[in-house]
Structures are given as structure tokens and as C-alpha cells.
Amino acid sequence: MAFIIIVKGGSMSSLLRRLVILFYSVVAKNLPASSMMYFGSPSKKVRQMCAALLFSKCGANINIERGANFNGGIKLKIGDNSGIGMNCQVPEDIQIGKYVMMSPEVIIIGQNHRHDRIDIPMMLQGASEAAPVVIEDDVWIGTRAIILPGRKIGRGAIVGAGAVVTEDVPAYAIVGGNPARVIRMRK
């Protein structure tokens, strides 16, 4: 498969960007998982190509799994040898370091509904300002973990399956539970 890329001023044209997002959403996102025999490797390559065109920084040897949703990824940064797991939901402005493992169905939230006024229904108050999530190098995030807006996951940390991260996670900590608490340190 070949793409013709028109680059203007160092960035992709708006029309091309929309076409790549459409292609990812309809085709690439639904291709087989990278671990599937025969079709996995080509599927992984197609998703890598889409990520390289869409993300603001895309490292080498990344793995975007089947069903991963990153809302266009215009501000998304991902380091070398990192992955976004199957059916994960990540905001478009997340920063993911190198060697990050994200298990299936992780949800990372970039902003919330506003709720500060009681005289206006919450659904009419709009969204809060985006608070980007930062995941440093060598992090493992377990299946169905939820990370709330503005959190930082420190280098070498492990977020247990099903954990709800409401506070920053220190480097080399293993956290779990709801809300996530430090269970122990790796070193």
C-alpha cells in the first residue's frame, strides 16, 4: 500500500490528515491483532504507518493494537518500542515514553465535565481544560486500568490491572486498587 504525502511547512495538509484518520478509523483500527498468525505483522505495519502520519512524535518499532482509539492523535507523542494495547482509549495529547507496555482496554482520560456551578446542569457546563497525562519510560499498565486527567506515571512503574489512578505514580512503584495506592517499590 502506498501513500502520496503532501507536506506543507513541515506538517500534513488538513485534507490528508482527515483521510488518514478516516482510513485508520474504518480500516486499520479493525485489522487483526499483531499477534495473529499471517495477518498480524502486516496489520501492525499499517497501524504503525497511520501513527507515523498522525502523531506529533512517533518512535521506532511502536505497536498500536487492534481497536486502539486515540482521537486523531494530533498532539500524541510515543517513544521507541512502546505500544497502545487492544481496545485502549487514550486522549490525543498524551505523552508515552520508551518501552511502555499498555495492556488491553486501558482508559486514559484527558479531561472531565465541569461541575463547579450548581445553578447550571453539569451537561451544559462543558468540559474542563485538558490535563495531559505523562507516562515515562519502561512502564507497564495492566488491563482495564483507568488513569485520570493530569496524572504522571513515573519511570519503571507498574499500574496493576483494574487500578484507578487518581494521583501521580512515583518512579518504580507498583500500584493497584481503587483509588490506586502504592503496594510496594520495585527497587
Per residue, what are the HEC states of the chain? CCCCCCEECCEECHHHHHHHHHHHHHCHHHCCCCCCCCCHHHHHHHHHHHHHHHCCEECCCCEECCCCECCCCCCCEECCCCEECCCCECCCCCEECCCCEECCCCEECCCCECCCCCCCCHHHCCECCCCCCEECCCCEECCCCEECCCCEECCCCEECCCCEECCCECCCEEEECCCCEEEEECC
| Reported pTM | 0.86
Tens digit of pLDDT for each residue in 64-84? 999 999 988 889 999 999 999
Tell me what pLDDT residue 4 has: 42
Residues involved in catalysis = 113
Please state, as a whole number, how many other Cβ atoms lie within 10 Å of the Cβ of residue 5: 10
Residue 94 has pLDDT above 50, yes or no: yes
Tens digit of pLDDT for each residue in 120-174? 999 999 988 888 999 999 999 999 999 999 999 999 999 999 999 999 999 999 9
Sorted by where each starts, the structural domains of the chain and their CATH numbers stand as 55-185 (2.160.10.10)
